[in-house]
Amino acid sequence: MEPWALRLIYATGKYPSGFLESSHVDMGAFDECIETAVRDHNGNLLSRGQYCNLIVYIDNATALQAMMSSIVDAMSPRLVYFAKHGGPPGDPMARIALCYIDDCNQHDLQALVNAVIPPFARLEVSNCRTAEPRPWNNSQVAIVIFAAVLLVVIILSTLVDHFVAQQSEWRKNHGLMFQVAMAFSAKCNTRMLLHVASKDQVEQHSLQFLHGMRCLTVMHIVLGHIHVIPTDSFTRILSLFENTTQWQNMIIPAAFNGVDTFFFLSGFLLCHTISKQKANKAAVFIVAVVRRLIRMCVPFSFVIMWFYLLPRFVDGPDTESFFQRFYADMSEHWWQFLVQTRNFYELHLQQVLGHLWYLSTDFQLFVVSLLTLLIFRRRKPVALAALAVLSLLGCAIATWTMARLHLLPFIIIPFPHFPTINDYYLTPFYHAVCYFSGCMTSLIVADFRERKISKTLQLAGWCTSVSCGLFCVMVKFPWYLRENPTTKEVEITVAFFDRILWSISLAWITLACSTGRGGPVKNFLSWNAFVPLSKLSFGVYVIHYPFIELMMYSSRERVYFSEFNQVTLFFAVLVWCFVLSYLAFIACEAPTAGLDKLIFGRLMRGGSVRRQQQQEQLEGGEFKTKDDGGEGNQVALRLPSKEAVGHVKL
């Protein structure tokens, strides 16, 4: 037998070992396959090795049920339970590597497979790949050109920042140009990222604990997604099913509560910013909404752009599948991302950017909260009452939807119930109480600070907060042990009060820490190291989910599913995401915020800015790095200016 034929045989996958423990793939040897070459006696290339994926589907439901019944005694009870609970629809039974020479293309191989296909199954040859270099397409060339131009702009701006910042005469003659340069300066943006409010900045320093809450929350969400990412590259997924019988592992599905923490923080920061606005309500609303869209869509689009270039640098057994899903997701839903309506459209397993529903829901709740706060800006009790009514209305609508459609009261992993996700969890009604509770908490902070609260009441508040938080985390546990663990009435009650209790828990922590009653909790959450990491949380959230998927789809070997491996993977992904988020921050997010503030600041203040700027420069005014409430800092003149509205990120 020819050596190249042996390589093809050895590189081809076999039946997935560990199938009864939910191992579904045998990847063969990807590199051995595509590096195989068939040459003539003169060394001329005749054929290449071609790596394909053979996907096995069971289309006959009766046959599938019969097959499951015949092997159920050999399967773990936990696997049987989750299989009945509802696995991912349309998920293949197995994926096997198929290595052959490229003389037979994918269509030819499919014809060969069809000749031996069993009656109850469907075999699909997909994503064939060789080592032959692929040409650059126009989009990739355009991205590289754009990146080169942007890099030059950043380098020049950084040099201007470094050499010209102290030359007041040059700044006086090139004020606007200097501000634009500062928006793109890597040095300025890094300094801005690392800036921590001093104790002299009383208001900002008192709210520094929010950075800790936001940083820990985004880490928790990444940890949760590490455990539930839809990939067959893990072996023995049964470990995940078995872990759900241990109460301490409820920390993983608690990541869904972390999303509600984001909503709470967004509402709190929005109300805190709006309270400083004295301009016309209509103008504030329009400017806030436009700026919000700009500061969300531009960085998001910047991050997504780079995924179109990644096929040049990332390759693996199933990366073709990842990129095809990514392109399909963007082609179908790009306009929904821009107008922030993604959460109103169905989410399914094959979508790479499904986690971005959060941005749409957050924007919708932002608009409603902004309208409410502006309408009742001078009537705090009425604003509190309106937000409370909206919160209860949101809980009522969400609970009614759950009861009417016979959905679960919350998300159950690892096999999420997609009707529960699409019709219940993604809606703004479900999360409204957390967002509006953040607004209400911000409204009462000042009054809470003035009240004298005894140590006993403070202890009671902490006990209530911890109890509510633990209840929201642990109440899901019975649903992991058995199907329908309680009555419908109890499910409805849990569904209604779940987010209310979580909001109460967050509200007390926020009130206590913002008024100097947080003790060691506030000291920990206010740790300076959390501040720059918190400012990168928007980028981490956008990047982490497709990054995890791409990493697993490009994996040459199966990864054993264990807590040690998952935690190790978590830290690796977290470091990567923070590094990539930093690059996105200095290249796009911070420049966007700087230009946004410069443009809208001039539009809002008109010609008075120019006169004040000239006066400041004549009086020797200096440029400074201004901390904008922890939401990303911009270069600003030392002038009394209103805080920007509508740029509160995750």
Give 83's pLDDT tier (boundaries 50, 70, 90): low
Transcribe 92-115 into DSSP letters.
-SEEEEEEEETTS-HHHHHHHHHT
Q: What per-residue confidence (pLDDT) applies to 228?
A: 84
What are the tens digits of pLDDT across the range 224-236? Answer: 999 888 788 888 8
If 0-12 CB within 10 Å is exposed, 13-18 middle and 19+ buried, where does residue 182 land? buried
Helices (H), 185-318: 186-194, 202-206, 209-228, 238-243, 255-274, 281-307
Of 259, 286, 432, whose CA–CA distance to 356 is shortest? 259
Is 527 in contact with 344 (CB distance < 8 Å)? no
Name the token pair of 68: 């499951």
Using CA atoms, how far apart are residues 628 and 480, in angstroms rounded to an integer?
Answer: 44
Query: Which residues are within 8 A (CB) of 190 and not within 5 positions of it... i.e. 6 or more apart?
Result: 586
Q: What per-residue confidence (pLDDT) applies to 367?
A: 96
Q: How many helices (H) and strands (E) does the chain have?
A: 28, 9
Using CA atoms, how far apart are residues 559 and 542, in angstroms rounded to an integer?
Answer: 24
Q: Within the chain, what is the greatest distance between any pair of CA atoms?
A: 93
Give 645's pLDDT tier (boundaries 50, 70, 90): very low
Q: What per-residue confidence (pLDDT) applies to 245?
A: 82
Using CA atoms, how far apart are residues 577 and 256, in angstroms rounded to an integer?
Answer: 20
Q: What per-residue confidence (pLDDT) applies to 297?
A: 93
3-state secondary structure 247-282: HHHHHCCCHHHHHHHHHHHHHHHHHHHHCCCCCCHH
Give the DSSP letter of residue 76: -
Give the DSSP letter of residue 636: E
Give the H/E segment covering residue 129.
Answer: strand 121-129
If 0-12 CB within 10 Å is exposed, 13-18 middle and 19+ buried, where does residue 620 land? exposed
Is residue 633 scored above 60 in pLDDT?
A: no
Is 418 in contact with 89 (CB distance < 8 Å)? yes
Q: What per-residue confidence (pLDDT) applies to 18?
A: 83
Is 247 in contact with 418 (CB distance < 8 Å)? no
- Number of Cβ within a 10 Å radius of residue 89: 9
Whether a cis peptide bond, with omega within 30° of 0, leads into 414 is yes
How many CA within 13 A on the CB side of residue 376? 17
Q: Residue range 531-556: average pLDDT?
A: 95
Using CA atoms, how far apart are residues 175 and 168, in angstroms rounded to an integer?
Answer: 10
Give the H/E segment covering residue 626.
Answer: strand 623-626
Name the token pair of 234: 């893990």
If 0-12 CB within 10 Å is exposed, 13-18 middle and 19+ buried, where does residue 41 land? exposed
Give the DSSP letter of residue 615: H
- Over pLDDT 90: what percentage of the chain? 57
Is residue 218 scored above 80 in pLDDT?
A: yes
Give the H/E segment covering residue 600.
Answer: helix 590-605
The alpha carbons of the chain give a radius of gyration, in whole angstroms, of 28
- Number of Cβ within a 10 Å radius of residue 107: 9
Give 93's pLDDT tier (boundaries 50, 70, 90): confident
Q: What per-residue confidence (pLDDT) applies to 649?
A: 36
Q: What per-residue confidence (pLDDT) applies to 195?
A: 92
User: Dihedral sign, CA of 475, 477, 480, 483?
Assistant: negative
Place of tokens 């599905």: 253
Higher pLDDT, 502 or 57: 502
Is 7 in contact with 92 (CB distance < 8 Å)? no
Is residue 75 scored above 80 in pLDDT?
A: no
Give backbone dihedrals phi and psi of 556, rounded to 5 degrees, phi first. Answer: -80, -20
- Number of Cβ within a 10 Å radius of residue 115: 7
Helices (H), 121-208: 138-164, 168-173, 175-184, 186-194, 202-206
Is residue 533 scored above 70 in pLDDT?
A: yes
**What three-state secondary structure class fits 481?**
helix
Give 119's pLDDT tier (boundaries 50, 70, 90): confident
What are the tens digits of pLDDT across the range 321-354? Answer: 999 999 999 999 999 999 999 999 988 877 899 8
Give backbone dihedrals phi and psi of 101, rounded to 5 degrees, phi first. Answer: -75, 155
Give 547's pLDDT tier (boundaries 50, 70, 90): very high
Of 634, 643, 650, 645, whose CA–CA distance to 180 is shortest? 634
Give 624's pLDDT tier (boundaries 50, 70, 90): very low
Q: Residue range 202-214: average pLDDT?
A: 91
Q: Residue range 50-57: average pLDDT?
A: 91
Give backbone dihedrals phi and psi of 631, rounded to 5 degrees, phi first. Answer: -100, 15
What are the tens digits of pLDDT across the range 277-332? Answer: 777 888 889 999 999 999 999 999 999 999 999 999 999 999 999 999 999 999 99
Is 24 in contact with 96 (CB distance < 8 Å)? no
Domain ranges of the chain: 3-129, 192-594
pTM of the model: 0.88
Q: What per-residue confidence (pLDDT) applies to 141?
A: 96
CA distance to 265, 267, 502, 644, per residue, from 272 (Å): 10, 9, 21, 11
Is residue 408 scored above 50 in pLDDT?
A: yes
Q: What per-residue confidence (pLDDT) applies to 170?
A: 58
Query: Which residues are within 8 A (CB) of 543 and not within 5 positions of it... i.e. 6 or more apart?
Result: 303, 577, 580, 581, 584
Whole-number average pLDDT of the chain: 85
Q: Report the range out of 60-74, 553-567, 590-604, 623-637 with the highest average pLDDT.
A: 553-567
Give 78's pLDDT tier (boundaries 50, 70, 90): low
Q: What per-residue confidence (pLDDT) applies to 115?
A: 86
Give the DSSP letter of residue 642: P
Q: What per-residue confidence (pLDDT) applies to 605?
A: 65
Name the token pair of 105: 């293309």
Task: Name the least confident of 51-60, 132-141, 442-451, 528-537.
Answer: 51-60
Is residue 568 scored above 60 in pLDDT?
A: yes
Is 22 in contact with 78 (CB distance < 8 Å)? no
Name the token pair of 386: 């309106």
Give 91's pLDDT tier (boundaries 50, 70, 90): confident
What are the tens digits of pLDDT across the range 578-594? Answer: 999 999 999 999 999 99
Is residue 611 scored above 50 in pLDDT?
A: no
Is residue 495 scored above 90 in pLDDT?
A: yes
Using CA atoms, how far apart are residues 530 and 217, in angstroms rounded to an integer?
Answer: 11
Using CA atoms, how far apart are residues 216 and 3, in angstroms rounded to an integer?
Answer: 54
